[in-house]
Amino acid sequence: MSMSWQGWYYLAPLLVVLLFYLRRHRERESHARIKLEETQKSNIPEPLTLHPVIDPNKCLGSGACVRACPERSLGIVKGKAMLVAPDHCIGHGACASACPFEAVSLVFGTEKRGIDIPQVKPTFETNVPGIFIAGELGGMGLIRKGVDQGQRAIQTIAKKKGKDGQLDVVIVGAGPAGFSASLAAKEAGLRFVTLEQEDGMGGSVYHYPRRKLAMTAPMQLPIVGKFNRHEISKEELLEFWNKTIKKTGLKIHFSERMDSLQRISGGFIVKTPKTEYKAANVLLAIGRRGTPRKLGVPGEEQPKVVYRLIDAEQYRGQHVLVVGGGDSAAEAALSIAAERGTTVTVSCRGDEIFTRPKDKNRQLLKQGVEKQKITVYVNANVKEIGTDTATIVHDGKDIVLKNDAVIVCAGGTLPTPMLKEIGVLVDTYYGQALPT
């Protein structure tokens, strides 16, 4: 029996909508497949920080996780969600919350590349009484979780106050967990100091690219109360934190890093380049960037050697050497090369400078090399840093470069050996979730 014209009249719009949906679905899947192929071709590794793994048996391809991801690191391939751009993922965790089928798990490390995470109790105290860990170092990269952990750790510390001549707690780090812990310590009337090796607030957030989406859910802060923003950029978040510091009178010891942590009878000694602090408790909220990794070469102690780019304009007209193979090295080189009169050279121990950074940075770097704005030496090592030169070793030969400044972007070293030395137990995770 043929359909009447009235039936076609009502069915036609539905067919148009269906065809439009299928076309868009194919386009999105094609785009995701291309991104995945680029990732595999470039050997971009999965992030070692918190990142999603999708169970294909549970995933029905709804795309909810893809839409929820603010960094566009997920895509639908062959009807299943996949991490197609791992270099974009910074562990927001919005994907797991959005999945209606509980197919997304947030894990640490990969099958081949493990990540060390200290053991902590529900109170955020380690197996060593008096040593607490909150935030990224303990495996939780989400800002709202770090904020929550910092203040909860202080709730336990407030019951274990120090004796005369002791601080109740030394808080190491002024990222989300350390900032929240500092406010909680102030609110509780504890004797404390907060140390931050950088010259500004934010921890890992401080090093996000400009206008990077930093947070995707509201958070509750001591003294301040609820900060009811669902999405906020790096700049907005740092501005809020700095205003809160002024408003509350919170004191943070910027540019003062922890050099060592020693266990003594009844507490701990935290040593910095400036002084030492005796405390009953220590809260480590240092994130996973750690202390900047140094090159260990002659001349590195000079003021012209720094470990991150602050302002590209200050290098205008200078000969600059950038050392490293990741995004921070690529972004530093590109920013400085855009300034007038600069000569920019990149020294990379392997060839990862053309594979590890984000796709946009890789393409811009290749363009910079082609236009002779940037010179890149792969499989090279810095040998020595002179007053107005820098020497690198490439293909077994010494190459002496004119040099006014060196920016080392070689990552950081976590205090894992120090933690193990004082008895803190550390587990290595290979693509596993933390136990709940």
- In this prediction, residue 6 has a pLDDT band, given cuts at 50, 70 and 90, of low
Average model confidence (pLDDT) across the chain = 85
The segment with the largest mean pLDDT, out of 171-175, 274-278, 362-366, is 274-278
CATH 3.90.79.10 fits 116-292+414-429, yes or no: no
CA angle, 64 then 67 then 70, to 5°: 130
- Inter-residue contact 406 to 298 (CB < 8 Å): no
Fold of 305-410: FAD/NAD(P)-binding domain (3.50.50)
The span from the CA of 82 to the CA of 88, in Å, is 13
Domains 5-107 and 305-410 share a fold: no
pTM for this prediction: 0.70
Position 270 scores a pLDDT of 96
Beta-strand runs (E) in 142-246: 167-172, 192-196, 213-215, 219-221, 225-227, 232-233
Beta-strand runs (E) in 119-218: 131-133, 167-172, 192-196, 213-215
Tokens 């020294």 sit at which residue? 347
Any idea which of 13-27, 150-164, 341-355 has the lowest mean pLDDT? 13-27
Any idea which of 148-157, 207-216, 242-251 has the lowest mean pLDDT? 207-216
The segment with the largest mean pLDDT, out of 41-50, 192-201, 370-379, 419-428, is 370-379
- In this prediction, residue 380 has a pLDDT band, given cuts at 50, 70 and 90, of very high
Show the tokens assigned to 237.
């978040």
Which tens digit of pLDDT belongs to each residue from 153-195? 999 999 998 888 899 999 999 888 999 999 999 999 999 999 9
Average the pLDDT over 118-130 and give the result: 93
Position 92 scores a pLDDT of 67
Any idea which of 83-87, 107-111, 214-218 has the lowest mean pLDDT? 214-218
Nearest to 221 by CA among 175, 179, 170: 179
pLDDT reading at 322 higher than 90: yes
Position 1 scores a pLDDT of 47
Position 430 scores a pLDDT of 81
The span from the CA of 205 to the CA of 187, in Å, is 24
Q: Percentage of the chain surpassing pLDDT 70?
A: 85
| Residue that wins the pLDDT comparison between 204 and 160 | 160
The span from the CA of 407 to the CA of 353, in Å, is 15
- Inter-residue contact 28 to 72 (CB < 8 Å): no
Show the tokens assigned to 431.
């693509």
Tell me the domain boundaries of the chain: 5-107, 116-292+414-429, 305-410
Position 140 scores a pLDDT of 65
Q: Say which CATH class 5-107 falls into.
A: alpha beta
Position 431 scores a pLDDT of 78
Exposure string for 189-206, b = 16+ CB within 10 A, e = fewer: ebebbbbbbbeebbbbbb
Tokens 């690198």 sit at which residue? 392
